[in-house]
Amino acid sequence: MNQTAPPKKPALTPEILVPRLGDYLVERGLISTEQLQSALQQQAVLRKTQEDVPLLGELLVEMGMITRADLETAITEHVLQLRNALQETNRQLEQRVRERTAELEKALEKLAELSQLKANFIANISHELRTPLTHVRGYQDLLLSGDLGELNAEQINALRTMQRSTDRLERLIEDLILFATAERTQLPIQWLPLDLRTLSSEIITQIHAKARDHQHEVQLISPAEVPVVYGDQEKIGWVIYQLLDNAIKFTPPGGKITVELIPDDLHVTVRVSDTGIGIPPNRMGELFEPFHQLDNSPTRKYGGTGLGLSLAQKIIEAHDSSIQVLSELGRGSRFSFALKRKLAPFKEA
């Protein structure tokens, strides 16, 4: 049985590794341009009649245009030139990579330095604001107590309005100080047993007046007995307050807001839900950016600094957890985080 022989592969010779050999031979003066063209034409003719066509260098030798010794010498020289050129290119690339790496490292150092300066500035200015604000608060209390003289109803109402504004300013300053602390170092956490049911009730009581002003109902949904978790009571209370404050701001009047406590074998999940305006899907990634608000309009309808959710996430991350968000535009949002029922061995209670 006859078998068709496989096509013959060209022999692996140094010439195969050399690009544009003909041009190199012309540049070296070993052949003329006319000789190169003649050899290329002969090569084209041979391709029409046979499969095994000699390489250009071999054809030049067969046509007597160059000796084999000169061809091999030229190929060797050309290979060395190509190798040297490649090595030089690699050296230049490595140098550029080193330079760019150094530039990036310098830029990162500068960025870290600027971030540190920003955090220090925020902390310093916040502490400077706190002192005169304490004096303002003190004199407001004295005036309202009547120690500085009797006030009429209109004056008392004006002072109470001032007190509410002072409260807002105090919260802003505390937020800035907390943010500066979180930017400069890891937030310190006091790991203590935590009664989430009692804490949530206290926070709802604190924010009740604000919710009432917006015609909202805030409800705690919880089992009668909630397992103890571990965490920093002050900071977790701050997070729950911020989530409720956001829910109140972004829920139209008459909305419903709930704080739900959901225990399982390992955690207790805190879930704050509202029937508010919801969050556009393409803006979800911006929620936890500091000094950033989804309401970028000039009127700033909803107010605030844009620090609340960013700080809340940092606090929850310091508790080895994270805030999860589900939202439907026009239907409401749900923010959840879980706290551990058992303290990890390396944590100090």
State the DSSP string of 154-199: HHHHHHHHHHHHHHHHHHHHHHHHHHHHHHHSPPP---EEE-HHHH
Q: Residue 317 class from Cβ within 10 Å (0-12 exposed, 13-18 middle, 19+ buried)?
A: middle
Cβ–Cβ under 8 Å, residues 222 and 261: yes
Cα–Cα distance, 311 to 183 (Å, whole number): 10
Domain 192-295+305-340 -> CATH class = alpha beta
Cβ–Cβ under 8 Å, residues 14 and 76: yes
Q: What is the pLDDT of residue 92?
A: 92
Q: What is the pLDDT of residue 303?
A: 53
Q: What is the pLDDT of residue 24?
A: 84
Pinpoint the alpha helices (H) of the chain.
Answer: 21-27, 33-49, 56-62, 68-145, 153-184, 196-213, 233-249, 308-318
* pLDDT tens digits in sequence order for the chain, 349 residues long: 445 545 444 444 555 556 788 888 888 898 899 998 988 888 888 888 888 888 888 888 888 888 888 888 888 888 888 888 889 999 999 999 999 999 999 888 888 777 777 777 776 777 777 778 888 888 888 888 888 888 888 888 888 888 888 887 887 777 777 777 776 667 788 999 999 999 999 999 999 988 998 899 899 999 999 999 999 999 999 999 999 999 999 999 988 999 999 999 999 999 999 999 998 888 888 888 876 665 544 444 555 566 788 889 999 999 999 999 999 998 999 999 999 998 665 455 4
Q: What is the pLDDT of residue 324?
A: 96
Q: What is the pLDDT of residue 58?
A: 85
Q: Give SS3 for 319.
A: coil
Structure pTM?
0.57
Domain ranges of the chain: 14-66, 192-295+305-340
Q: What is the pLDDT of residue 347?
A: 54
